[in-house]
Structure 1
Amino acid sequence: MPATPDKPTDPTAVGDTGLLDALQHEVAVFARRAEQTRLGGVGQVRNSMDRAAYLLLNRLDKEGPMGVKALAASMGIDSSTVTRQVAPLVDTGLVKRTSHPEDGRAVVLQLSPRGLARLEEVRASRRQLMAELTQDWKPEEREAFCSLLTRFNRALSARQAAHCAAQQDTSPAS
């Protein structure tokens, strides 16, 4: 089906090429600045935390204790990745392994009190940073930015999930 002015088939044809170039540049700058902030280049060094650790602790706090497979599925990553990322969190006492309440043979990961305290410390630091960076924004601007960033992240997540599904469909059976 040929492209029409209303329905282009090429996603890069949507909008102004200059705007898309500016958007991809700003996303790249954002990613770099976010990483610098996480590493303590901006903000409080004592409250920096590895991105994977923050996301895992946050997920356990919001969704409660769960097994490795459930945690991996809820985060859209591989179980082996979760296992590797959780190990240092268990070693440092931020996460504890417990028996599943209904099946004592199964292991469940749970945020420890120390992990919750550390997560709250990091959240408070990040909240303060967000407040400083957006102090001259109107509340509706903060809400719009958060909404658009959430939408952008969901689109990235959906694209990644589709890409992984397509790779599984084309991989040879073992």
Structure 2
Amino acid sequence: MPPPPVPGARGPGTVRTPDPPVDDDAPLDRLAVDLRMSLLRTARRLRAQKSLDDLTDGQFSVLAHLVNSGPRTPRELAEAEHVQPPSMTRTIASLAEAGLVSRTEHPHDGRQVLVAVTDTGRGVVLETRARRAAWLRRRLEGLSPAERATLAEAATLLTRVISE
């Protein structure tokens, strides 16, 4: 009795080539790409929701830092924002010119200044945060309760992923 035919063989004496190796990481790689793109696009759309159009992302970040942490020296702000001190000096100057921050003498070191957010700057941060929250809420309203639950779980997982 002849041997059973080999699937994929083309005739007698044909040697079947093995299947290509399965890339077990392919689904994980695809997920990483999809998440990265979704997160970047979402962040870009959220950043566009601001109360002052001429405020840069870096300037807003400094304002938000001051609202959250209180007055800081330019060096502390540069370290927190991961920029060089000369860049922070320019950012602070622009924010001060716009009336969004004030500079005062450091109470313990006369060689330094403290940068604080003004009431106007605080208003810009709070209004921008409200706009961003409203924008996202409008999009979430269109989802089913199950989809929102999935996103709530994803938010928890993403927080864990970025904190590791």
Q: TM-score range by the shorter chain?
A: 0.5 to 0.7
The 1:59–1:22 alpha-carbon spacing in structure 2 relative to 1, beyond 3 Å, is: same
- Shift in Å at residue 109 of structure 1? 0.9
Q: Confirm or deny: 8 A CA contact 2:100 2:118 kept in the other structure.
A: yes
- SS of 1:96's equivalent in the other structure is strand
* Alignment-derived partner of residue 146 in structure 1: 155
Superposed CA offset, 1:108-154 (max 9, x none): 11111110011111011011112122233567545433334444555
- SS of 1:98's equivalent in the other structure is strand
Moved more, 17-26 or 58-67: 17-26
Matching residue within 119, 123, 126 for 2:132: 126
State the TM-score, normalized to the length of structure 1: 0.63
Structure 2 unpaired stretches of 5+? 1-23
- Percent identity over the alignment is 26
* Alignment-derived partner of residue 166 in structure 1: none
Superposed, 1:88-107 pairs within 5 Å as: 88-107=94-113
Matching residue within 36, 43, 48 for 1:27: 36
Taking only aligned residues, the RMSD between alpha carbons, in angstroms, comes to 2.9
Superposed, 1:7-156 pairs within 5 Å as: 16-39=25-48, 46=51, 48=53, 49-135=55-141, 136=143, 141-154=150-163
**Higher percent of residues as helix:** 1
| Structure showing greater Rg | 2
The 1:68–1:149 alpha-carbon spacing in structure 2 relative to 1, beyond 3 Å, is: farther
- Shift in Å at residue 47 of structure 1? 5.3
The 1:38–1:74 alpha-carbon spacing in structure 2 relative to 1, beyond 3 Å, is: closer
- Shift in Å at residue 17 of structure 1? 2.1
The 1:92–1:37 alpha-carbon spacing in structure 2 relative to 1, beyond 3 Å, is: same
The amino acid that maps onto 2:33 is Q
Q: Confirm or deny: 8 A CA contact 1:47 1:121 kept in the other structure.
A: no
Q: Distance in 1 between matches of 2:150 and 2:87?
A: 36
- SS of 1:104's equivalent in the other structure is coil
* Alignment-derived partner of residue 8 in structure 2: none
Q: Confirm or deny: 8 A CA contact 1:69 1:79 kept in the other structure.
A: yes
Moved more, 50-59 or 106-115: 50-59
Structure 1 unpaired stretches of 5+? 1-14, 156-174
